[in-house]
Amino acid sequence: MDSSASNPKTSYHARSNSLPSSPHPLIAQVNEYLCRLRASEATSSSSSMSHNIVGLQDLHDCVDKLLLLPLSTQSLAQQQQEKWVNELLDGSLRLLDLCNTAKDALLQTKECTQELQSIMRRRRGESMLGSEVRKFLNSRKVVKKAINKALGNLKGAKDKCTFSPSEAENEVVALFSILREAEAFTVTVFESLLSFISGRNAQSKSCRWSLVSKLMYSKRVACEEEETHANEFSKVDAALLSVFMTSKLDNKHVENLQNQLEHLEMCTQDFEDGLECLFRRLIKTRVSLLNVLNH
């Protein structure tokens, strides 16, 4: 016997085998999108992140269609399901907050990147002023602080994402379960994306020094990392920290840094475009949930 069957609380991480044997086609489609997203979960390149953002767009398009079904509206609009709908509304607000945090982090990083690119073009081959690089590093510090706060807030929120089916119909349980699973995996993708933007996934614990420590040990500025573990954000962070230490760049270093900044700008723009589309879909889903509650 499946151990999950005896558990009085059904986690929002429930898998498709907890659904009825013949679920509605839209429920099956939501689960299919979740399976696709899980397949790419282990990768952490900018292209895979962009792919996951697009995957979330498709997922939430399907979720909204599911919510608009008369059966879904009638099931969730029942008085005894009001608590569940409120939990879904809380979850939708959490997703919007995460999306806004990511968008703000990208916008701030992109603006500083473009400003630094403009300065470098004007001063190609000349000394880089430490104050200009310091501004970029300070901006990234603010971005990382906001991301760490958002990720920290998620720890407590995840513990609340359980529900008790009680005597509800199996169809209602299946619907609520797949909606919470969609929410849960969206949170997971946002966690990965925010960590990617902060450059956290490219740093080993031994390399997470404070800025003061890095200044004291200038010969150890660059952590010995595998190239495949670095991303556009962490590469620029490390390169500019080195510039801040030396205040000078020769023509070769200028060219390399300019290339890194260009790649970072393209990456942030790609993420921004995808998140803007996703944000509109999350808003649409929230409106649908509000309509169910007011049905």
pLDDT of 291 > 90? The answer is no
pLDDT of residue 116: 87
Name the least confident of 145-149, 210-214, 236-240, 286-290: 210-214
pLDDT of 22 > 90? The answer is no
List C-alpha distances in Å: 123 to 188, 242, 250: 42, 18, 11
Tell which wins on pLDDT, 209 or 45: 45
Work out the pLDDT band at 58, boundaries 50, 70, 90.
Answer: very high
196 is a domain residue: yes
Which residues form the domain of 250? Answer: 23-293
Q: What is the mean pLDDT of residues 205-217?
A: 41
172 is a domain residue: yes
18 is a domain residue: no
Residue with tokens 């990456």: 267
16 is a domain residue: no
pLDDT of residue 293: 78
127 is a domain residue: yes
11 is a domain residue: no
List C-alpha distances in Å: 115 to 125, 198, 251: 17, 19, 19
Work out the pLDDT band at 38, boundaries 50, 70, 90.
Answer: confident
Number of domains in the chain: 1
192 is a domain residue: yes
Tell which wins on pLDDT, 249 or 139: 139
The model carries a pTM of: 0.79
Name the least confident of 116-120, 207-211, 291-295: 207-211
Work out the pLDDT band at 157, boundaries 50, 70, 90.
Answer: low
- Residue 4's φ and ψ, nearest 5 degrees, are -70, -20
pLDDT of 213 > 60? The answer is no
